[in-house]
Amino acid sequence: MADPMKIRAQIKGDVAEIRVLMSHPMETGQRKDSDGKIIPAHYIQTVTVALNGKNVVSGQTGGSVSRNPVFGFKVKGAKAGDKVAVTWKDNKGDSRTDEASIA
Amino acid sequence: MKKRIMAAALVSLCGVLGLSFATPSLAQKKDETIAGIEKYREMLGDDNPAELYEMRGEAAWKKPAGPNNVSLEKCDLGLGAGIVKGAYAQTPRYFEDAGRVMDIESRIAWCMMTVQGISEADMRKRPFGSADKPSLMEDLVTYVVTASKGFKIAPPNTHPQEKAAFELGQSIFHVRAGPYDFSCATCHGQDGKRIRLQELPNLTKAADNQRAYIGWPAYRVSTSQVHSMQWRINDCFRQQRLPEPKYMSESVNALITYMAVMATGAEYKGPALKR
């Protein structure tokens, strides 16, 4: 099981600023280890954000994104106390969802 | 690979800045380069993956472990058993129970041994981890130091042994040795020096010590991991072409004491993001 994400969600007017820090190796599949063997690709492919259970962001990512990536989103029409759920899925079928309340 | 991409990003950032000036003087050009590097740092700044270490470290701190199956919550980091907040800012310090001056890592290690009953050999097995497999110490130390964010750096420097450690650290800083006859001061004893794009703080001065100290331990983008202060010194011994120092040895702790005392009064910022 992957490590938890760190989610910050703050309201500014009627826009929620959401920032997510994810723990993931994001291997490109192009690097070699010290024995010269290719390190298999392992990266997040989809990221979704739900606000009170309703999908508001869905995106695709690839191997060019750095290890332990940070993503930022702005969501309109949110209010303090709303529940934000962020989910990622990677190319090995692993996934993780974490939640936070908008402050 | 990632390292090369970072370097390319830096070069292009500086390139753009350089071009916007028709005939910059040398001094101007240098300022622009530094401004470019600072801009890059700022862009990287806000969200620091060190927080992932902090979260893991907090969980590890509170989880019963070792032969005694107890957590580290009873550990006395200098402000009393169980107090983590602000403790790092007042290290290195002399600990009566251990009878010597300890930096934060030495103290955490001490607690792993005395509170949890972990053997010294086990504790020493893997102080510095890798991006793929961070060490337990890196997680713990990130948690502990982050709890001093906003506190003023204030190692006591009053006990005779604390004063002796400062003196020892200061003298080691100036000892020249190794195949190139380098001392710490060779690279860190003048203002405004750089090796490639890495600015070299003048660690004989309080102001530069303050700037450097408030950002260590640090998350390094080129290695995708948190490095501790013990690692920083270890890696500078390597750059000095000296034999690898023993982890938490008296001389490494003395150098850390020297830098901490020199940095006194600065507000600790928590782990920084480095190139």
Distances (CA, A) of A55 to A75, B59, B267: 11, 31, 42
pLDDT at B57 over 90: yes
Helix, strand counts (H, E) of chain A: 0, 7
Query: What is the DSSP code (8-state) at residue B139?
Result: H
Question: What are the structural domains, with CATH classification, of chain B?
Answer: 44-274 (1.10.760.10)
Residue type, B129: G
Token digits for B237? 């011994």
Distances (CA, A) of B173 to B121, B159, B205, B208, B262: 29, 21, 12, 15, 13
pLDDT at A100: 95
Enter the pTM of the model: 0.85
Mutate to test the interface with B, among A67, A73, A98 (most CBs of B within 10 A): A67
Mutate to test the interface with A, among B55, B136, B146, B225 (most CBs of A within 10 A): B55
Q: Does B163 contact chain A (CB < 8 Å)?
A: no
Spatial distance between the Cα atoms of B194 and B213, rounded to a whole number of angstroms:
18
Report chain A's C-alpha Rg in angstroms.
15
If you average pLDDT over residues B19-28, what whole number do you get?
50
Query: What is the DSSP code (8-state) at residue A58?
Result: E
User: Which residue, among B226, B247, B7, has the nearest Cα to B130 in the 3D structure?
Assistant: B226
Matching residue, tokens 């974490």: A98
Matching residue, tokens 């040795």: B177
ipTM above 0.85, yes or no: no
pLDDT at B30 over 90: no
Annotation marks residue B14 as catalytic: no
Instruction: Give residue-wise pLDDT tens across range B59-90.
Output: 999 999 999 999 999 999 999 999 999 999 99
Mean pLDDT of chain B: 88
Residue type, A19: R
pLDDT band at B17 (very low <50, low <70, confident <90, very high): very low
Instruction: Give residue-wise pLDDT tens across range B214-270.
Output: 999 999 988 889 999 999 999 999 999 999 999 999 999 999 999 999 999 999 999
Chain A residues inside the 8 Å CB shell of B132 = 25
Q: Does B24 contact chain A (CB < 8 Å)?
A: no
Token digits for B172? 């080691």
Distances (CA, A) of B81 to A66, B9, B115, B140, B211: 39, 46, 11, 16, 30
Question: What are the structural domains, with CATH classification, of chain A?
Answer: 6-29+40-101 (2.60.40.10)
Instruction: Give residue-wise pLDDT tens across range A5-42.
Output: 999 899 988 899 999 999 999 999 999 988 999 999 99
pLDDT band at B1 (very low <50, low <70, confident <90, very high): very low
Q: Does B49 contact chain A (CB < 8 Å)?
A: yes
User: Which residue, among B150, B151, B127, B125, has the nearest Cα to B137 in the 3D structure?
Assistant: B127
